Amino acid sequence: MKNAKKVAIIGVFAALAFVVMYIEFPIFPTVNFLKYDPSDILALLVAFIYSPTIGIIVLAIKDILFFIFKSGDIVGIAMNFAAGALFIVPAALIYANKGKFREILGYVIGIVAATGGMALLNMVVVPYYWKVPLSEVFKLLPWIIGFNAIKFSIDSVINVIIHKRVRGILEPDERKI
Ligand code: RBF
């Protein structure tokens, strides 16, 4: 891909992801600091169509913009980035344009990596963030696991539906092959 196109794709998708992150809402009232937003789907799309690196760049720019213009919460943004990266990188590396089976396997491994990784990260971060003992975080663990599993399952289902169409729009020549 030409550099100019790469820069344009990154800019457009990071801007779109930043805007859709404003849709964020909690899934479980018990852990209302965890909010679902569809922005990771934009980063996943470019990771699938171009490369995991471009996906991570889009994810990072989106999070930096959201931190500056909306949240101002460095911990929340770092956790959002970590969760997105833990999902997108394995999913895109496993899929690697190798068909439906690899695509589904990519989502499954991505969901497991993000859900497991974030359970561990939350056990480290939440005691400091909310100033609560680790035993309190253990009580929240089922909700944290449920949240991440649901968040990245929703992203996977939406990506299954749209990723071929988006590829057709972005890379029309490849469709003829
Ligand atoms: N986002 C996730 O997708 N998964 C998480 O496990 C997760 N853990 C978080 C833990 C803390 C203490 C905070 C403050 C945020 C966490 N986030 C997580 C990010 C959150 O859902 C939201 O995207 C950001 O706070 C930006 O509003």
Q: How many angstroms does the Cα of residue 159 sit away from the middle of ligand 1?
A: 21
The predicted pLDDT at position 174 comes to: 57
Going by C-alpha positions, the residue among 32, 36, 39, 31 that lies closest to residue 14 is 39
More confidently predicted of 171 and 36: 36
- Burial string for 51-71 (b: 16+ CB within 10 Å, else e) reads bbebbbbbbebbbebbbeeeb
Q: Vertex 168, ends 167 and 171: CA angle to 5°?
A: 70
**38 Cβ contact partners less than 8 Å away, ≥ 6 residues apart:** 20, 23, 154, 155, 158
pLDDT digits (tens, 9 = 90+) for 75-128: 999 999 999 999 999 999 999 999 999 999 999 999 999 999 999 999 999 999
Is the beta carbon of 33 within 6 A of some atom in ligand 1?
yes
- What is the spatial distance between Cα 106 and Cα 97, in angstroms, rounded to a whole number? 11
The predicted pLDDT at position 74 comes to: 97
pLDDT digits (tens, 9 = 90+) for 21-79: 999 999 999 999 999 999 999 999 999 999 999 999 999 999 999 999 999 999 999 99
**6 Cβ contact partners less than 8 Å away, ≥ 6 residues apart:** 50, 54
Mean pLDDT value across residues 163-168: 94
The predicted pLDDT at position 173 comes to: 66
Domains located in the chain, CATH noted:
3-21+35-170 (1.10.1760.20)
- For the CA of 35, the nearest atom of ligand 1: 21
- What is the spatial distance between Cα 11 and Cα 3, in angstroms, rounded to a whole number? 12
Q: Length of the chain in residues, anyone?
A: 177
Nearest CA owner, ligand 1 atom 11: 76
According to DSSP, residue 32 is labeled T
Which helix or strand (DSSP H or E) is residue 105 part of? helix 99-129
- What is the spatial distance between Cα 114 and Cα 171, in angstroms, rounded to a whole number? 29
